[in-house]
Structure 1
Amino acid sequence: MSTARPDPRASTMYVDPDEPEYPSSDGRPMAESTTQFRWIVTIKEGLDALFAAYPDVFVAGDLLWYATKGDKTDVMAPDAMVVFGRPKGDRRSYREWVEDGVVPQVVFEVASHTNTPQEMAEKRRRYDARGVEEYYFYDPDSGELEGWLRRPDGLRPIKADGWTSPRLGVTFDAPRRKEALVILRPDGRPFRTFGELAKDEEAARRIARAERRRRRRAERMALEEGERAESERLSRERAQRRADEESRRADAEARRADAERLSRQEAEARVESERLSRQEAEARAEEARRRAEMMEARLRELGIEPG
């Protein structure tokens, strides 16, 4: 596993292509409590500040991560993630095929009161399957910090308290219930809490921008949902019109078939009538011939030669 830090002299910035078919939200809130939100922001903003001078390190919080192009169900939403080798910049979502196939190397999850062990185990399994190198799970209520590091056979648990991340260079101090988690930068300074960040003017601006982006994203989603609903309504109307047209064509075809059947029956009746008429005429002619022959025979019997 590489422990090399990125080159701060890099200057490439990311331009996110517009792929609206991949939703930018899963409809769930970023956090389910102020405690969870505070820790998500603390971790994400601390990582942002740590790598602020490195344009090729992308840090995100609560961003949908799509792993497979064409499969919108293969999606994850880490509370925080760090991607080395990808430029900074705004994104509606993180799509691996747009990001040169780079998998986020470090992922954080902060527990909420609704999380179940089965749910978190499934998240860890999916992160493992995607190739995440380091995975950290923090429960603010219990103070428990768990960590996993990628080994040749996949993600394996580590003793997180006192652990220094190979990728991030940060050290975790997890005293459990006695005190809150402390994340120390390589220079020994701790990550600042949400309240501390709010006092910092630059951090406050970042938080305000993030909030504006979230609002705009919510507005876009509402607009897109309205447009989708209108598109579906128009599609249903078009489908109904096509069905009505098909029904009219079927009725017209049935009427044509009935008319042709009646025409055939009338033609057959005319042919039969003409045949009967010919038979009657032939019968009358035959009867006239027999009477003529009988009359000639009678005249001969009387000695009269028919003339």
Structure 2
Amino acid sequence: MRRIFIFLGLLAILFSVESCRTAKMTDDPVFLFSYFKGNGEDGLHLAYSTDGLNWFPLNDDKPVLEPRVGKDSLMRDPCIIQGKDGLFHMVWTTGWTDRYIGYASSPNLISWSQQKIIPVMDQEPTARNCWAPEIFYDSINDQYLIFWATTIPGRHSQINHEDKESGYNHRMYYVTTKDFNTFSKTRIFFNPDFSVIDCTILKHNAKFYMFLKNENPNPPEKNIRFSVADTPDGPFPTKVSEPITGDYWAEGPTTLIKGDSVYLFFDKYREHKYGAVRSKNMIDWEDISDQVSFPKGTRHGTALKVDKSVLDNLMSKFKN
């Protein structure tokens, strides 16, 4: 009888250890990455990661959603967030010269709503573009911010082009919405003395960090910097940080918080690969580009943390 009790006790200990191990595995973070390839004509691509460094394509790296709106029918710079309603909300660049952006939502990243355009710059007939829109949920005001880069000729302080890049001179604009059906009036969001694109916002330690690309062409900057504000709708100081990326051209920043570090991923578009930096104090940034791997051809994407069940459903639907 004593041996039976000892045996049952050992079984209980083993079961407890296995339960803890299984719970730990279940609680491990899972990450997704939305991106486009080529010119964006084939649509939305998704990759996944369990460590935030090594990313693997879903659906054999074929698109999981095709573009249906816009003059050029593109799906560039797809930005996805999971809203407070549990839905995944996505915006994207529909074309090179559109005065609107694309929008769709999904409960699971598998089935999607009808795609529609949001005419964010209809009131500006000379606006040349709407590029790289992003969404951020403003919990302070219970609303979503949607912001993007636009060039309006003659509107802002001039920069030195010397006939480079067709005279683009971008600034950031934004709208707010609570339901993605009605939107506020378009307003200026960030207006520094340089051409700026590809902004993304991270909430960290009760501050809001706007990472951005200095797009000045002459002399070329093409690097990632940041500005810090107390609220997500700013104002963000136009005196920004020094570059936190290295001696290469970088764009399309996106962030993840993993452990005690902030990871910033970006498109090294001249080198046709992805890079990354990380920081524990938002002051010192370590370049870890040699530690990350992405599907070949990944362009300007968004990283997000999701429940493991979301990835399980995607893996089941899009078997590689």
Q: What TM-score do the two structures reach when normalised by structure 2?
A: 0.28
Greater C-alpha radius of gyration = 1
Higher strand share: 2
TM, length-normalised to structure 1: 0.29
Larger RCO (CA under 8 A, 6+ residues apart): 2
